[in-house]
Amino acid sequence: MLDKNKQLLYEKQAEIAGAIAHPLRIAIIDFLKDGDQCVCDIADYIGSERSNVSRHLAVMVNAGILEYHKEGLKVIYSLKCKCITDFFTCAVKVVKQQVKENEKLLRAI
Amino acid sequence: MLDKNKQLLYEKQAEIAGAIAHPLRIAIIDFLKDGDQCVCDIADYIGSERSNVSRHLAVMVNAGILEYHKEGLKVIYSLKCKCITDFFTCAVKVVKQQVKENEKLLRAI
DNA sequence: TAACTATGTGATAATATACTCATATAGTAT
DNA sequence: ATACTATATGAGTATATTATCACATAGTTA
């Protein structure tokens, strides 16, 4: 059975996974991988409203995967833990595996 | 700007992250790490209804991170891609970092 | 000070997720 | 065939997430 401590860790980990679990947030993480960016540049890049981007950023800061600092009017966001990109490496593997299976299926038709 | 293909990949990756983003599902993944299991044993382990567990399993199969095979009445689930545990390694790092920061904060009071 | 720019937040509506209970399905055993 | 066990699913409710708009805040510049 699950003990309380493990459960607590699972909740925290679920929050972190949840903070990644959105196409726009993944786009943001992928963008920040190549360097820190302010909200307006992120918004331009992913093509969404600043208020919306601001909220998505807040979700990720809250989960502990992003950090930020202010520069004048701008707020610059950056990845707090580069290891987060390991997830993407795995996710790509999973997607490739699925594509392979779909190809097999297609050939069987 | 984001191109269509990247956007498609981001959506798929978000689905995978979403399939991890629940305490019970993380508990299940952690449980399956040590060996394949049937629904009823998973349900007993995490302490939730079988119907609920069945749905959580379906989410993960759908996202491509679990697979299953039938053995008589039982359905045995297993991790499809061990690399999924890399995410947990990173998540633990993130959590530890947060704890450290909280300790700093505490000492400042 | 006034106008401006970047960011964040409250309120709302739309949508998605999660859990529960009852029921369906499929395989097993008597 | 009947009763049983494991699993999955439909329906309903409760809750959470997301996007949008309007507005608030904070720093900048004229």
pLDDT at position A109: 77
User: Is B96 part of any domain?
Assistant: no
Question: Which positions 10-29 of A are in contact with B (Cβ < 8 Å)?
Answer: 10-18, 20-27
**Nucleotide closest to B50 measured between CA and C1':** D7
User: Is B66 part of any domain?
Assistant: yes
Chain B residue numbers with beta carbons less than 8 Å from the beta carbon of A93 are 81, 83
CA angle A30/B88/B31 to nearest 5° reads: 140
User: Is B24 part of any domain?
Assistant: yes
pLDDT at position A53: 98
Residue nearest to nucleotide C28 (CA to C1'): B73
pLDDT, averaged per 10 consecutive residues of chain A (109 residues), comes to 91 98 98 97 97 98 98 98 96 96 88
User: Is B32 part of any domain?
Assistant: yes
User: Is A93 part of any domain?
Assistant: no
User: Is A88 part of any domain?
Assistant: no
- Could you list the residue range(s) of the whole structural domain that residue A62 is in? 4-81
Q: Determine how β-strand B37-38 pairs with β-strand B74-79.
A: antiparallel
User: Is B45 part of any domain?
Assistant: yes
Sheet holding B74-79, edge to edge: B37-38, B74-79, B66-71
CATH number (domain holding residue B64): 1.10.10.10
- Residues of chain B short of pLDDT 50, as ranges, are none
Amino acid A45 CA to nucleotide C3 C1' distance, rounded Å = 28
pLDDT at position A31: 97
Total count of domains within chain A: 1
Spatial contact of B49 and A59, defined as CB atoms under 8 Å apart: no
Q: How far apart are CA A11 and CA A1, in angstroms?
A: 16
Question: Mapping DSSP to helix (H, G, I), strand (E, B) and coil, where does residue A76 land?
Answer: strand
pLDDT at position B103: 93
Q: Which nucleotides of C are covered by protein (CB under 7 A)?
A: 5-10, 17-23, 26-28
User: Is B71 part of any domain?
Assistant: yes
